[in-house]
Chain A
Amino acid sequence: MTNYILKRLGQGLLTVFLTVSTVFILIRMAPGDPAVSYAGPLASNEQLAAVREQFGLDRPVLEQYWIFLQQLFTGNLGQSYSFQAPAMQVVAERMPYTLTLATAAILLTAVVAIPLGVWMSRRPDTGKELGVNVLTIAGQSMPDFWTGIMLLTGFAVLVPIFPASGFATWGGLVLPTITIAILQIALISRMVRREMTNNLAAPFLTVARSRGVRSSALTWRYAMGNSAIPVFTALGTRFAAMLNGVVVVEVVFAWPGVGSLIVRALETRDYPLIQATVLLTALLAVGVQLLIDLAYPLLDPRVRLGKAATA
């Protein structure tokens, strides 16, 4: 068990390291000069050179990488060019907002999508099921920025129930959460339906039914019990992906999270800020993935972590 956790932790850290290194290389490979965006297009060559020296951009790339690695292990990725503050601190301040939004969205998704998927799997190929099925197709076909603007116009401008942007009150959480959840509910509920349909048709269920197990127990304890791991994995993976910033929705609703931060950092070529964002979000995402794995034995007692599955 401990071995397994250590092994997964090692793999996760390796992924994070490769990710930040890839980003480091990509940034340096790309055309464009952060000094220009920092000092402005009118800056003289001397000013640009001064800026480059200040940020250490005049040194050889390998030396920059070495400095970057040192910074990585001390957890200090340098000053953000545009915020004039430690980059890690800028990202850490934004993180709670993204965390709040992602948590709210995933909770709403789970609460709606699981019952919906079960409901669909219990009446396959009926008119009602087809109707809901088409609705879920529509849900996964709407661009989230468009849904966001539509909801924003409808419920913040025309009928001002909720605030239009930012996170001043809890009401501000409603519209972005719904925008994210529409897509996630569509995806997860279809997945739940697929898993449940397979399990409801499995031989062990027929046996259980013939022994007189009640229908609700058949659905929730027998079939859902066996669908729990894939469904939980899907929800967890979605959650981990959201921690990387729900970029589009954050931009639409001017949400002060990591997603809108990265868009700004990319526009201004704020290298330390890009690095810090990627590092923190990748760490969080890997952590969540590990937690998902650790939860498997709780969901299914047959699972023994780190051991080959035995019948």
Chain B
Amino acid sequence: MSLDTATPAPGGAGKTVRQPSPSAVTKADIAKAGATRRRNAAKWKLIVGTICTLLVIIPIILAQVLPLPDANFQDLGARRLPPLTDGHLFGTDQLGRDLLSRVLHGGQVSLTIGLLAVLVSGAIGIILGAAAGYYGGWVDTIVSRVLEAQMSLPLLMMLLLVVALFGPSIPVITFVIAIAQWPEVARLTRSMVLVEREKPYVSAARILGLHKIQILIQHIIPNVIKQATLVVLLLLAQAVLLESALSFLGAGPQRPFATWGRIISDGQDYITTSWWMVTLPGLVIVLMVVGVNLLGDGLRDRPRRKKKGA
């Protein structure tokens, strides 16, 4: 940290010397400070994350509107065309179907499953976690035991088992992913509620005669919901990855729903001759998941803005 108090303004060599600053801290110091760099990094992550996510999500939402060939339209005369030929931006697959169209329509299925799964697991996790943290006692014991048991279970194996046995329909897969993910939300919510319930405002509410459930829903949950939803956002990235892994193993939604994992698994046989059939869908997944993860990271690192009037 520089100690000269009369720092001249940058580029101000010819101008009159400014009044000595009352603080020894210069603007350059502030710009170099850890807190500033952290804020800038968070901002950078937020911007890049948003761009990556939107870059994938907007075309997926608009898949029906965009001038693309039908995802299941086969043109055997145009099999395995490399990208950028004949208007096929991503090329075509072994049946002459437009790869970009398939990726976007598959993305609709993958994203829907991911969003639904995250909503379900978020709801289960927040409710059970909050109940366990607030009530303690036997509620906590049961929830914690179930959490532990599930952590020690072979996860992917169980998911495969359930999907293999009950059929790979969208509700089953959504449910399976939600079940796989709720422990994370529940654990976090539980630990946050444990901290919150000891705070003075909870005692105050209790003395005012509020019912336990009312305290939990009206006062405690609003204080933890922000951080819990942040985790849920990160879980969305995981849900998309999990769904694609299940699809890859053949336990995804059945055709004609060509989800991302399935497209990659189909293209695997042609990898030596048609690189794009695996590489491009994979890059789309990576772009989207990196985007969501960056967003989550950036939101977490972002300095809390002070409330107005506080």
Residues of A at the B interface (CB closer than 8 Å) are: 15, 18-19, 23, 26-27, 29-32, 124-126, 130, 133-134, 137-138, 140-146, 149-150, 152-153, 157, 237, 240-241, 244-245, 247-248, 251, 262-263, 266-267, 274, 277-278, 281-282, 285-286, 289
Q: Hey, what's the 0/1 contact readout for B235-253 against A, CB within 8 Å counting as 1?
A: 0010001001100110000
In the complex the two chains form, is B248's CB within 8 Å of A145's CB?
yes
Q: When the two chains form their complex, are residues A146 and B161 in contact, meaning their CB atoms are under 8 A apart?
A: no
- B289 to chain A: which residues have CB within 8 Å? 141-142
B37 within 8 A of A: yes
Q: Are A15 and B271 interface neighbours, CB within 8 A?
A: no
Chain B contacts to A: CB under 8 angstroms: 34, 37-38, 41, 44, 149, 151-158, 160-162, 164-167, 237, 241, 244-245, 248-249, 261, 264-265, 268, 271-272, 275, 278-279, 282, 285-286, 289-290, 293-294, 297
Complex contacts, A263 vs chain B, CB 8 Å: 160, 249
State which of A157, A267, A289 has its C-beta within 8 Å of the C-beta of B164: A267
Residues of A within 8 A of B41 (CB): 125, 130
Question: Do B278 and A143 have beta carbons less than 8 Å apart?
Answer: no
**Contacts A145-B264, A281-B154; is A137 near B160 (CB within 8 Å)?**
no
| Residues on the A chain within 8 Å of B279, using CB | 150
A-B CB contact pairs (8 Å), 28 listed: A15-B149, A18-B149, A19-B149, A19-B153, A23-B158, A31-B165, A124-B34, A125-B34, A125-B37, A130-B41, A137-B297, A142-B282, A142-B286, A142-B289, A143-B245, A143-B285, A144-B245, A145-B265, A146-B278, A149-B264, A153-B271, A241-B155, A244-B156, A263-B160, A266-B160, A278-B154, A281-B154, A282-B153
CA distance A267 to B268 in the complex (A): 20
Once A145-B248, A244-B154 are accepted as A-B contacts, the answer to whether A150 and B294 lie under 8 Å apart by CB is no
Known: A30-B165, A247-B249, A266-B160. Contact between A146 and B297, CB under 8 A? Answer: no
The CA of A19 and the CA of B151, in the complex, are separated in Å by 12
A134 to B265, CA, bound (A): 27
Inside 8 A of B162's CB, which chain A residues have their CB? 26
Give the distance in Å from the alpha carbon of A126 to the alpha carbon of B41 in the complex.
Answer: 9
Residues of chain A contacted by B278 (CB below 8 angstroms): 146, 149-150, 153
> Which one of A145, A240, A262, A281 has the highest number of Cβ atoms from chain B below 10 Å of its Cβ?
A145
How many angstroms from the CA of A30 to the CA of B161 in the assembled complex? 10
Q: Per DSSP, are chain A's interface residues mostly helix, strand or loop, or mixed?
A: helix
The docked-state distance in angstroms from the alpha carbon of A152 to that of B271 is: 10
Of the candidates A23, A130, A146, the one having the most CB atoms from chain B within 10 angstroms of its own CB is A146
Contact A23:B160 (CB < 8 A) given known A130-B41, A141-B290, A263-B249: no
Across the interface, do B160 and A248 meet the contact criterion of CB distance under 8 Å? no
With A26-B162, A146-B285 as known contacts, state yes or no: A137 contacts B293, CB within 8 Å: yes
Contact B264 A241 (CB under 8 A): no
Q: Are B249 and A143 in contact (CB under 8 A)?
A: no
Excluding A137-B294, A143-B245, 4 further A-B contacts by CB distance (< 8 Å) are: A143-B244, A241-B154, A251-B249, A266-B161
Contact B294 A134 (CB under 8 A): yes
Residues of B within 8 A of A248 (CB): 156, 245, 248-249
Known A141-B286, A149-B264, A263-B160; contact A30-B272, beta-carbon cutoff 8 A: no
Say whether B38 contacts A125, CB under 8 Å: yes
Residues of B within 8 A of A141 (CB): 237, 241, 286, 289-290, 293
